[in-house]
Amino acid sequence: MESYGELLKKKRESKELDLDKASREISIDKKYLVALEDEDNSVFPGEAYLIGFLRNYSEYLELDSAFVMQLYHNEKIQESPIPENLIIKRKSPWAIIAVVSGIVIILAAIIGISIWILNRNNDKRKLAAIEINRAEGKKYELDNTKFVQRVYKGDQLIIPSASGKIILTVRETLSSFAIDIPSGVFYSELAEESEIDTNGDSVPDLILYVSDISSTDETRGAEISVLLRNNNYVSSDFVYAEDIPLESEVKSKYPQKVIIEDNRAYPFTINASFRDSC
């Protein structure tokens, strides 16, 4: 929008009037007319003089004095300082960073505490499960069939014998399998087949095999298989290694033939096709 000073000057020049003539005709000193056109308010002794001279000069130039006065007031408002209570103070970026960092730290602490509480509750549940298994251990009576079962700490295996029942109690199911027997504690590792003498007569009474056990969670128990070696309780389909005849003792209806023979050991490959039972 055009300023009041520019409007006065253009109007005067369009009328081809000079400042000296205008000053004489409206009885206003030339320096005040120049100040009005240059919008230099410092020349006037007071605002009242400025407003009066501006109104008279506008009417002299045949301008709408009300419109010119409105331009003056608008410009004055724009130049006046903004009240402090209306100025929006921007917060320092460091303050924002500090607030955000504090919120992040608090959230991290809450998440960490929550995870710790959950882990603690899980540990408590595991311990409770172990205690329950220990308090409510199952009892299994073995007979002449192969026993395959997942057992837990506190479970008992009852072995029949001529002198009465022998009770074996599962002691440990973490990493290695441990079972209490009358003569002490017997340990067996994963995928290990062991012979156990339960009554201390130096004769193995049963064969124990551990097929699965956890290295981190005792509550999973251990999967074992047990086979009694007592003559009265060994399954009829069980064959001892010493009862298997040697190859030289078995007569074959087919003659044997040496395929390859050498005085040194080295790898070789054989492709064979079987046309009969073997």
Q: What is the pLDDT along the chain (278 residues), one digit of tens a residue?
A: 678 888 888 988 998 888 898 889 988 999 998 988 898 888 888 888 888 998 998 899 888 889 988 888 888 887 666 556 655 566 678 888 989 999 999 999 999 999 999 888 887 777 666 565 555 689 999 998 999 999 999 999 999 887 888 999 999 999 999 999 988 899 999 999 999 988 777 888 899 999 999 999 999 999 999 999 754 444 445 555 666 666 666 566 566 777 777 777 667 777 777 776 65
Q: What is the pLDDT of residue 232?
A: 42
pLDDT at position 274: 73
Q: What is the pLDDT of residue 93?
A: 80
Tell me the three-class secondary structure of the chain, residue by residue. Answer: CCCHHHHHHHHHHHCCCCHHHHHHHHCCCHHHHHHHHHCCHHHCCCHHHHHHHHHHHHHHCCCCHHHHHHHHHHHHHHHCCCCHHHCCCCCCHHHHHHHHHHHHHHHHHHHHHHHHHHHHHHHHHHHHHHHHHHHCCCEEECCCCCEEEEECCCCEEEECCCCCCEEEEEEEEECEEEEEECCEEEEECCCCEEEECCCCCCCCCEEEEEEEECCCCHHHCEEEEEEECCCCCCCCCCCCHHHCCCHHHCCCCCCCCCCCCCCCCCCCCCCCCCCCCC
Q: Does domain 4-79 have CATH number 1.10.260.40?
A: yes
pTM above 0.85, yes or no: no
- The domains of the chain are located at 4-79, 94-133, 139-228
* Whole-number pLDDT of residue 223: 96
